[in-house]
Amino acid sequence: MRPIPLICALAMLATAAPSHAQELTATPLGEYLVRFRHVEGKDFAPGNVDNFLRHRARLGLRFAYGEELQALVQVQDVRTWGEESDTLGDFSADGFDLHQGYVELAFDPDLRLRVGRQEIGYLNHRLIGNVGFVEQARSFDALRLMARAFDQRLSIDVMYARVLDDLPAGSLAVDDLFAAALRAQIGDFFQPAFITVIDLNSGSDRVRATNGLVLQSELPFGLRFGIEAYLQAGGATVGEVDTSYFAWMFAARTRFTLVDSDLAPFFEVFVETLSGDDDPSDGDERTFDTLFATGHRFHGEADFFLNIPVDTARRGLIDTGAVLGLNLAEDAFAQLAFHAFLPMQSRDGGTSFGQEIDLTLGVKPNPHLSLDFNYSVFIPGDAFTADGDPEHFIYSTMAASF
């Protein structure tokens, strides 16, 4: 049975429920997002330009039986406009999928268990994120236990996900994932958090743990800062070679906002450092792996560093820069960001990945509609190319949700 007829049938059953089951409710959910992209191949050479439109259309139903039992069924269609070979004869919908489908049990208002396919984002999505910027986004087949205590000033979130059921021979991909996050609110302005992620690969008997501490604070006079520190360690047997993992990451951000102004202008500076490997052939892995991060949040709008360590050739990354922003109106903003990217390990003589400038404009004319526009230019350094051209990246988005 196709998912859409199934959702409609379940909705009719919910509305036709007998009088003794009036607590059962069904709430429809919908989203439509369409984004134009201009990309230039990420090869720093003339040509290879692509302009396209891609959309995400989601339809879901959230069921609730009192406060004790909830369920969500959400399907989505992701496609590039014009990808089908015939407007009448091609109706295969290759990008149609069950995005989320889970049941949630509430043992107590502050203790919930969610079972099934679901989006998961831990803390700031540094290690586990839903990658919402990408049209298909990410969801996990997972068990998730969520608890709150001390008047909700402490939250604990524990999960297990089966990531890959059929691991290809020789693959080092994650097939099982365990994670936990703890966040506390201390006083009015200080939020420390801890995260641990254990990723397994059955083919190499890899067990790797990533532990991190995230400290955030926002003061009433407009100062906000955050510090993150992570350590990644473990071991595996790749072929007949024992491999050890030991890597680290550190990040810090400080933002000051002029809160007394209607424009709320702000200035932010940041630095992020991810360890790299000076000798990839020695069997000791020293490159920090960002695992299932939402990389678009951190390293520029042009997305040259989404998959770390692959996108840095295991050399690590230093990302420093600044952001300027302000409100153009009550529901509109403008932001200008600068990134300087360096390899942590400058193998082969390369000392710079390049610099990136991002200009982003956004407006939200009503609670259900948002529009944005971004222009980025990436000027490559010698770690990418000795004599390459700048890359330009443009996107514009319209998103409606109900």
Q: How far apart are CA 85 and CA 83, in angstroms?
A: 6
In the numeric block, the tokens 């984002």 are attached to 121
The reply to whether the predicted model has a pTM over 0.75 is yes
Rounded to 5 degrees, what angle do the CA atoms 390, 395, 396 make?
A: 150
Q: Higher pLDDT residue, 6 or 195?
A: 195
Q: Which residue has the tokens 């966040």?
A: 183
Q: Are 317 and 293 in contact (CB under 8 A)?
A: no
Residue 12 has pLDDT above 90, yes or no: no
Of 384, 383, 381, 376, residue with least CA distance to 357: 376
Distance between CA atoms of 169 and 176, rounded to whole angstroms? 16
Domain positions in the chain are 3-13+24-401
- Summarised one tens digit per residue, pLDDT across range 58-101 is 999 999 998 899 999 999 999 999 998 888 888 888 899 999 99
pLDDT at 79: 96
CA distances from 114 to 70, 108, 327, 348 (A): 9, 13, 38, 48
**What is the CATH code of the structural domain delimited by 3-13+24-401?**
2.40.160.100
pLDDT band at 47 (very low <50, low <70, confident <90, very high): confident
Task: Assess whether pLDDT exceeds 60 at residue 361.
Answer: yes
Q: pLDDT tens-digit profile of 248-303?
A: 999 999 999 999 999 999 999 999 999 999 888 888 899 999 999 999 999 999 99
pLDDT tens-digit map of 162-186: 999 999 988 999 999 999 999 999 9
User: Average pLDDT in the 45-55 region?
Assistant: 94
Nearest in space to 30 (alpha carbons), one of 68, 53, 2, 4 = 4
State the pLDDT confidence band at 23, using cuts at 50, 70 and 90. Answer: confident
Which residues lie below 8 Å from residue 126, measured CB to CB, with a gap of 6+?
A: 195, 212, 214, 228, 230, 251, 290, 293, 298
Average of per-residue pLDDT values in the chain: 92
